[in-house]
Amino acid sequence: MTPPEVEEGRDDYRDFYRGRRVMITGGAGFIGSNLARQLAILGADTLIVDSLIPEYGGNLFNLHGIEDRVRLNIADVRMQSSMEALVRDRDVIFNLAGQVSHIDSMQDPYTDLEINCRAQLSILEACRKYNRQVRVVFAGTRQVYGRPDYLPVDEKHLVRPADINGVNKAAGEYYHLLYNNVFDIRACSLRLTNVYGPRQLIKHNRQGFIGWFIRLALEGAEIQVFGDGTQLRDFVYVDDAADAFLRAGANGACDGEVLNVGGDETVSHRDLVRVLVEIAGSGSVRFVEWPADKKRIDIGSFYSDSSRFRGITGWRPRVTLEEGLRQTLAFYREHYKQYVTEEARDEVLR
């Protein structure tokens, strides 16, 4: 039976999830686990699917405190048979499993292809065969736009990825749109900008610069900023990102759409690090030349226009950058050892 929609009364979207059968791929990772915590509060029947591959973001501690309110299935989204079994009774699937490292995608393009393209087909094919009534919300990325032609970037901007990860994420996104348009699998994609906050992977620097900067500030280490630090970004605190997924999963007006989800504040790397070091009370900054391999895939300044998503769902970011950084630093101070081993810490300090 098709679940009722929440379109007119947009403020009722949280009630939509009470008792709703939800699945989160990548649910033990950064955004997925924070989304799972929201769903646990709302009383959803939540199934978390995660491969827990060490180099990616899955971390059992991310589910600390909600273990008795969610179910965890350790499975790889690349396994077709697993996906066929897991999707069958779900009302909403939040599809967050992916390889998100731009650097890793350039060094190991085939793994990126497998996770961000083939695995997406495995999930969608399982839905086509066994659960056509489901709604799928895909975690897209602003990386599909590449170096912007204009700012802020809206959804009409050309899709022109600057690295292999962006190409494969664009393909995964288009698979979702195709299955929406051709096979009636209701699906949309949220093109996220720089999401940050508690439970983000910080044990290495290959999954986004802000998490790495936060770790270095906590450890009193030097933060190296490439170039002069004037490049601009917008940032989304993870609770706001989770709220965006909840709204999209409850709103039929999002079906078949790609929608930007970005922050209100536009901040340069230079100012970001200054604020971070001030709040942390530790760390330092040094501006260095761009490494050649990273310069080739850098997109320059980027910030997005999220007005379409806001107009459809009523979403808006609520946590300011300063408050978000305070909450994030406090979380890692309390739970540092769950995210960084002593060996990894010593390697940075050396």
Size of the chain, expressed as the number of residues it contains: 350
User: In the structure encoding, which two tokens stand for residue 44, read together?
Assistant: 């959803």
Return the pLDDT at 8. 39
317 burial (CB, 10 Å; 0-12 / 13-18 / 19+) is: buried
Pairing type for strands 45-50 and 258-261 reads unpaired
pLDDT digits (tens, 9 = 90+) for 237-273: 999 999 999 999 999 999 999 999 999 999 999 999 9
User: In the structure encoding, which two tokens stand for residue 301, read together?
Assistant: 């300044």
Structural domain boundaries of the chain? 14-196+235-261, 209-233+264-302+319-349
Beta bridge partners of 74: 50
Peptide bond into 291 cis (omega under 30): no
pLDDT digits (tens, 9 = 90+) for 84-114: 999 999 999 999 998 877 788 888 999 999 9
Q: φ and ψ at 222, to 5 degrees?
A: -85, 130
User: In the structure encoding, which two tokens stand for residue 149, read together?
Assistant: 């032609």
- Global pTM reads 0.94
pLDDT digits (tens, 9 = 90+) for 37-80: 999 999 999 999 999 987 788 999 999 999 999 999 999 999 99
pLDDT mean over 336-348: 72
Return the pLDDT at 292. 86
- Which CATH number applies to 14-196+235-261? 3.40.50.720
Return the pLDDT at 104. 84
pLDDT digits (tens, 9 = 90+) for 117-171: 999 999 999 999 999 999 999 999 999 999 999 999 999 999 999 999 999 999 9
DSSP state of 93: E
pLDDT digits (tens, 9 = 90+) for 170-226: 999 999 999 999 999 999 999 999 999 999 999 988 777 999 999 999 999 999 999
**CATH T-level fold of 209-233+264-302+319-349:** UDP-galactose 4-epimerase; domain 1 (3.90.25)
Return the pLDDT at 5. 57
